[in-house]
């Protein structure tokens, strides 16, 4: 058991605080002889990096990753891969007043209640900065999936809602996601989001969002009943992203309103489909009984507005005096934006783990 590790056969352990000297992770269980270099990881970190638009925190981090072990002559060796990212922009004065006052909606208070001592600089361990490690590990996971699966698994995420403004699903275009800084798959929605976020930022407020993540090319058989289900592991992985309060697989909460006939995904023989079976719908989101069907694995999650806002909210300090707290400093008005690459990384890690777990089966791919 380790509170800072996830995955079983593809196992990631992260460490580091927002304003310590560095953050990093150890990826254990990566198979040997997979080509890997920093160049395979850096682009994903660059996508998550803050300061790339006015809608994300202005903290400037190079987020330069170094591989310290587990790779030799350009290939993984099967030994643990240590990934290392220096913290370069820790203006710790920004955060000084939160040492003693708890920000409502933030983990300040619970860390103190649990541990009685915390690194309060920039949120310490509870900072979203930790997710850089997940993104780095996710890049390694993608290389594992590329190796194990005949056709690469395609893992992509997008922002589908900010506040009350959802995208038009009919206008979904994956190419669009990379063209705007909001990871929006619907070009028509971008201007409305920019207007909303501009207003939010000016007001010193923040706003919630919804992210959708999909994996195509996943072979059937991944996931293991009854406590190693693929969808349960995804729920764990996505609910564990900072600020997430809801997770859906496939039709998600919509299924509550459906009848059996509406929810069934009809099947037909298809020699070209994985397992020889094609599906005519995907209400299930690619998972039945906790095992992948071969259809796209589809998940969605809601992320709350960041608790760092300029409006004062009633709170307490460590000595249990009543105080009012407003948060100064650099923050994301919508943390959902930077959660998009994190969502992809978590999907990649969960799939790599389950691919390795399934691989041991007799007759598996």
Q: Binding site: which residues?
A: 48, 54, 125-127, 242-243, 289, 304-308, 330
Stretch that binds a copy of itself, among 36-44, 53-61, 121-129, 172-180 (CB under 8 A): 121-129
Q: Which residues make up each annotated binding site for FMN?
A: 125-127, 242-243, 289, 304-308, 330
According to the binding rule CB under 8 A, does residue 76 interact with a copy of itself? yes
> Given phi > 0 = left and psi -120 to 50 = alpha, else beta, which region is 122?
left
- The region of 49-57, 90-98, 115-123, 167-175 touching a copy of itself under the rule CB under 8 A is 115-123
Among the listed residues 28, 61, 186, 194, the single contact to a copy of itself using CB under 8 A: 28
- Among 306, 338, 341, 345, the residue binding a copy of itself under the rule CB under 8 A is 306
State the minimum distance, in angstroms, from the CB of residue 104 to a copy of itself: 4
Q: Is 189 in the site for a copy of itself (CB under 8 A)?
A: no
Which of residues 88 and 179 has its CB atom nearest to a copy of itself in the complex?
88
4 contacts a copy of itself (rule: CB under 8 A): yes
The C-alpha atoms of residue 132 and residue 138 are separated, in whole angstroms, by 10
Among candidate residues 344, 335, 342, 341, the one with its CA nearest the CA of residue 55: 335
| Helix residue ranges, H only, 96-157 | 108-115, 131-148
Sequence ranges of the binding site for NADP(+):
48, 54
Among 51, 53, 179, 258, binds a copy of itself (CB under 8 A): 258
For the bound state, the minimum distance from the C-beta of residue 116 to a copy of itself, rounded and expressed in Å, comes to 6
283 near a copy of itself, rule: CB under 8 A: yes
**Three-state secondary structure call for residue 170:** helix
> Closest separation between CB of residue 185 and a copy of itself, Å?
16
How buried is residue 263: exposed, middle or buried, by Cβ count under 10 Å (0-12/13-18/19+)?
middle
Rg (alpha carbons) of the chain, rounded to whole number: 21
Q: Does 138 bind a copy of itself (CB under 8 A)?
A: no
Where b means 16+ CB within 10 Å and e means fewer, 311-346 reads eeeebeeeeeeeeebebebbbbbbbbbbbbbbbbbb
Neighbours of 238 (CB within 10 A): 26
CA pair distance 245, 251, nearest whole angstrom: 17
50 lines the binding site for a copy of itself (CB under 8 A): no
């Amino acid at each position: 058991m380790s509170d800072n590790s996830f995955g079983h056969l593809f196992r990631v352990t992260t460490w580091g605080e927002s304003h310590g000297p560095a953050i990093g992770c150890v990826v254990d269980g990566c198979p040997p002889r997979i080509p890997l270099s920093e160049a395979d990881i850096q682009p994903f970190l660059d996508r998550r990096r803050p300061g790339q638009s006015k809608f994300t925190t202005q903290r400037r981090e190079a987020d330069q990753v170094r591989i310290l072990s587990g790779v030799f002559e350009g290939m993984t060796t099967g030994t643990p891969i240590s990934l290392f990212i220096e913290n370069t922009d820790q203006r710790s004065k920004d955060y000084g007043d939160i040492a003693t006052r708890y920000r409502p909606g933030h983990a300040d208070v619970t860390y103190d209640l649990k541990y009685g001592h915390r690194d309060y600089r920039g949120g310490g361990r509870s900072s979203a900065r930790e997710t850089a490690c997940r993104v780095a590990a996710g890049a390694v996971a993608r290389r594992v999936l590329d190796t194990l699966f005949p056709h690469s698994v395609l893992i992509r995420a997008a922002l589908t809602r900010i506040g009350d403004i959802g995208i038009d699903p009919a206008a979904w275009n994956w190419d669009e996601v990379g063209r705007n800084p909001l990871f929006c798959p619907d070009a028509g929605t971008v201007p409305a989001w920019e207007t909303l976020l501009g207003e939010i930022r000016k007001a010193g407020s923040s706003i919630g969002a919804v992210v959708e993540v999909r994996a195509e090319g996943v072979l059937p058989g991944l996931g293991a009943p009854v406590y190693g289900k693929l969808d349960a592991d995804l729920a764990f992985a996505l609910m564990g992203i900072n600020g997430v309060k809801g997770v859906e697989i496939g039709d998600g909460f919509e299924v509550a309103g459906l009848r059996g006939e509406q929810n069934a995904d009809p099947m037909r023989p298809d020699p070209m489909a994985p397992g020889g079976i094609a599906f005519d719908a995907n209400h299930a989101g690619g998972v039945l009984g906790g095992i992948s069907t071969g259809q796209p694995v589809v998940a969605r999650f809601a992320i709350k507005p960041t608790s760092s806002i300029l409006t004062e909210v009633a709170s307490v300090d460590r000595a249990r005096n009543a105080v009012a707290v407003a948060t100064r400093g650099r923050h994301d008005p919508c943390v959902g934006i930077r959660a998009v690459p994190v969502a992809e990384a978590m999907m990649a890690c969960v799939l790599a783990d389950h691919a390795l777990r399934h691989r041991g089966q007799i007759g598996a791919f």
